[in-house]
């Protein structure tokens, strides 16, 4: 629960509103490779929806087969070139195209139907071009089920944050020196230092899409900017507008050569309802094939649920909804009730390789019985 006083929350709300109005009037687009500046949704340089070509979706389709009568939860089927995903479902993370301490065939036997791989790590090693030469991620992994890849944005911005703040998703701070430092964030893209060899890497919305085309996942994500919850309102608004422009550029690049892939929009705005609503309105007007909920979800599960409760009735009902970076059992149970179809996290495999197992609390100190009665797993 927020520790801010009512007065301070109202003050920040008014500050965000004022800054939004200011940014709509003064924001300029400096990088315009093909298109002139436009004003859309009250913001200069936003790409209007009518400027995007329609996407042939015959290789990707989502249908809902049942709605809950008690919540926004739903049961659906997501059809992809590599198989059908029954939703809602949890998506395990295979960071470098491999699960940590779990064989992907074992994960498949346990019911996993969609796997998440990280473009950032695969770009740095072995390289998206190497994976392409091997035939793409499916051949690289010897894996015949659907795969989703992210843009690299989350790792770039979170790994460079050397002052970890309390975030529900956690901070991916691995280095206290400059081995993963962001050098610059400009309209064209972001430049950062590779944590592997110190090389300077320049990533743009277009090059992120090209890398994901090389990897060959079924679902891909546009490049976005991740800011921590404690960022100032001005920085959050500027990052949101730039993220929208980057996502539009990513989508335009994707449409040039869809390659039987689907691209999801990533809705940002942190815990601020005005920013979330602006992000929803603009990105849902573009021809994305699905919606991912990204950005900060606050520092507590209560704040996360408040964000999802606000967004749930505003999400497009005909598109699949993915929640980025959440995967503990308690959260899975709660977020599905807001209409989340898929959600990913490295949380289960991270805990597992450090000797933790999920059990009912009544059994956690009962050493005379199996951890899970009747379980046939090898543990």
User: Active-site residue numbers?
Assistant: 150, 344
- Locate the DSSP E strands across 204-274: 219-220, 262-267
Q: How many CA atoms lie within 13 A of 227 on its CB side?
A: 21
- For residue 150, the SS3 value is coil
Contact assessment for residue 315 and residue 339, using Cβ atoms and an 8 Å cutoff? yes
Report CA-CA distances (Å) from 1 to 4, 5, 16, 299, 306: 9, 11, 20, 9, 10
- For residue 2, the SS3 value is coil
The span from the CA of 180 to the CA of 193, in Å, is 5
Q: Select from 152, 86, 143 the least CA-distant residue to 123.
A: 152
Give Cβ neighbours of residue 59 (< 8 Å, ≥ 6 apart). Answer: 80, 81, 260, 262
313, exposed or middle or buried, with CB in 10 Å at 0-12, 13-18, 19+? exposed
Q: At 329, phi and psi to the nearest 5?
A: -55, -45
Q: Given the structure tokens 């699949």, which residue do they identify?
A: 320
CB atoms within 10 A of CB 2: 14
Q: How many CA atoms lie within 13 A of 118 on its CB side?
A: 21
Residues paired with 39 in a beta bridge:
44
Dmax over CA atoms of the chain, in Å, equals 71
């Amino acid at each position: 629960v927020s520790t801010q006083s009512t007065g301070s929350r109202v003050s920040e709300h008014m500050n965000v509103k004022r800054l939004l109005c200011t940014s709509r009037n003064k924001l300029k687009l400096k990088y315009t490779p093909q298109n002139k500046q436009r004003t859309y949704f009250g913001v200069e340089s936003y790409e209007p929806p009518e400027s995007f070509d329609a996407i042939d979706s015959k290789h990707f389709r989502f249908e809902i087969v049942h709605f809950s009568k008690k919540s926004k939860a739903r049961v659906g089927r997501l059809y992809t070139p590599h198989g059908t995903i029954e939703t809602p479902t949890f998506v395990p993370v295979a960071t470098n195209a491999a699960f940590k301490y779990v064989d992907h065939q074992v994960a498949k036997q346990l019911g996993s139907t969609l796997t998440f791989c990280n473009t950032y790590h695969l770009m740095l090693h072995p390289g998206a071009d190497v994976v392409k030469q091997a035939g793409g991620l499916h051949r690289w992994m010897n894996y015949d089920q659907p795969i989703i890849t992210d843009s690299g944005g989350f790792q770039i911005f979170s790994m460079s944050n050397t002052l970890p703040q309390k975030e529900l998703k956690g901070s991916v701070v691995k280095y206290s020196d400059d081995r993963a430092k962001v050098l610059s964030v400009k309209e064209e893209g972001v430049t950062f230092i590779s944590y592997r060899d110190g090389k300077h890497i320049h990533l743009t919305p277009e090059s992120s899409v090209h890398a994901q085309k090389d990897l060959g996942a079924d679902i891909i994500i546009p490049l976005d900017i991740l800011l921590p919850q404690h960022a100032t309102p001005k920085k959050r608004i500027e990052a949101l507008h730039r993220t929208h422009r980057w996502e539009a550029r990513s989508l335009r690049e994707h449409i040039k050569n869809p390659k039987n892939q689907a691209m999801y929009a990533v809705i940002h705005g942190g815990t601020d309802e005005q920013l979330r609503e602006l992000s929803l309105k603009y990105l849902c007007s573009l021809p994305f094939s699905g919606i991912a909920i990204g950005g900060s979800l606050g520092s507590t599960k209560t704040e996360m649920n408040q964000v999802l409760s606000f967004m749930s009735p505003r999400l497009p009902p005909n598109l699949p909804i993915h929640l980025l970076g959440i995967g503990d059992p308690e959260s899975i149970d709660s977020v599905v009730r807001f209409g989340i179809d898929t959600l990913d996290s490295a949380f289960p495999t991270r805990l597992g390789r450090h000797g933790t197992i999920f059990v009912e609390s009544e059994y956690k100190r009962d050493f005379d019985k199996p951890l899970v009665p009747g379980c046939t797993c090898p543990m």
